[in-house]
Amino acid sequence: MQACAGARACYFYKSLYSNAMNKKSSFSRAAYEAWLASPQGAFVLHCQQALTRHMLAAWPRRGRSLLHCHCGTGLLLRQFWQHGFEVTGYEPEAALRALAYKNAPHSSDIEGGSLEHLPFDDDSIDFAVLSLPVANSAAVLRELWRVSRSGLLLLGWNSFSLAGIRWQVPSAEGTVALPPSASWWQAWCTLKRMQPQSSIACASTLLLPSGTWHEGFFAKINQTMQTLPCGAFAALRCDFAPSPASPSLPLSLFQSLNQPRINPVMERQQAAAPIQEKHNTACTCSGIRREQQSKAGAAAQHYAVQEHEKHCKI
């Protein structure tokens, strides 16, 4: 009896997973992009950006290069640039590259070509970000490991979540299929084989079913970030060193993405302003002391002359 119950349970979960796979096969990028412009899609995008900021907080950013591979329409390129990275996007599809040019900062480059043969030298990029899933992910990860010096960040959807049971989002236009899920266990094993001494951290968001992805009673729960890949959107960060490098500047979870990035030249000027002000104050105080000392010396000399004249008259 127990064996029959276990078999029925396995069949039930297998049918749920196969339904999720069938839902993912009907994914339409045009419908998904239109859904991201809706209030519900904006809430999901906000959760994704918050998770990305959380994972990037362990990396130094100012003056460091970052390659976003398989960047799609470039929705995250401006966020990376605002955090201080020198960003380069890489997208194989020409139609998506055209949209990425519109969303990316003016100083960012958008490259195209095969994901398995990147046109970059070995260790020529500080950090790399890969949006999953991709075909032949093991070969793509090895290529990113070749061109990166310090670490990799993987971003993608996770079907092993409450939202993965149906893998679609109810919206005003009906239902919208979510993008395909990533093979997180395969990615973790590939990273550990390439860099056995690396430090790997994971996190996820959007914990509840897709019907709760909006501002309301369940918003706080969906926005919470877990250290386990149990949410619908997950991230996996691999630091090639045993422990991640400390960041040069802190990342605030409440940073407004509408604010432009601070110019490094202006940062140096702002950092030098207190020093210059301190120097000017010191010079002013020194001048006042010298003036007081000269007045005191003149008064003492005048007093000495008067005493000498009195002595001569006597």
pLDDT tens digits, one per residue of 156-196: 999 999 998 888 888 776 788 888 999 999 999 999 999 89
**Token representation of residue 300:** 């003492």
Is the same domain home to 198 and 286? no
Count the residues in the chain.
Answer: 314
Is the same domain home to 283 and 213? no
Residue 20 near residue 208 (C-beta atoms within 8 A): no
Is the same domain home to 21 and 138? yes
Q: For the chain, report the end-to-end CA distance as a whole number of angstroms.
A: 134
Please give the pLDDT value at position 171: 77
Please give the pLDDT value at position 261: 54
Q: CATH code at 170?
A: 3.40.50.150
Other beta carbons within 10 angstroms of residue 197's beta carbon come to: 9
Is the same domain home to 250 and 273? no
Is the same domain home to 313 and 213? no
Other beta carbons within 10 angstroms of residue 151's beta carbon come to: 24
Is the same domain home to 153 and 275? no
Is the same domain home to 257 and 300? no
Please give the pLDDT value at position 172: 72
> Which of the residues in the chain have pLDDT under 70?
1-25, 173, 243-314
Is the same domain home to 117 and 220? yes
Please give the pLDDT value at position 246: 58
Please give the pLDDT value at position 128: 97
Please give the pLDDT value at position 88: 94
The DSSP symbol for 265 reads H
Please give the pLDDT value at position 103: 85
Structural domain count of the chain = 2
Give the integer Cα–Cα distance in Å for 237 and 260: 26
Is the same domain home to 283 and 229? no
The domain in which residue 47 lies consists of 2-261
pTM for the model: 0.72
- Which residues is 238 bridged to in the sheet? 152, 200
109-113, Cβ contacts within 8 angstroms, sequence gap of 24 or more: 110/71, 110/74
Is the same domain home to 119 and 38? yes
Is the same domain home to 281 and 230? no
Please give the pLDDT value at position 271: 43
Is the same domain home to 159 and 62? yes
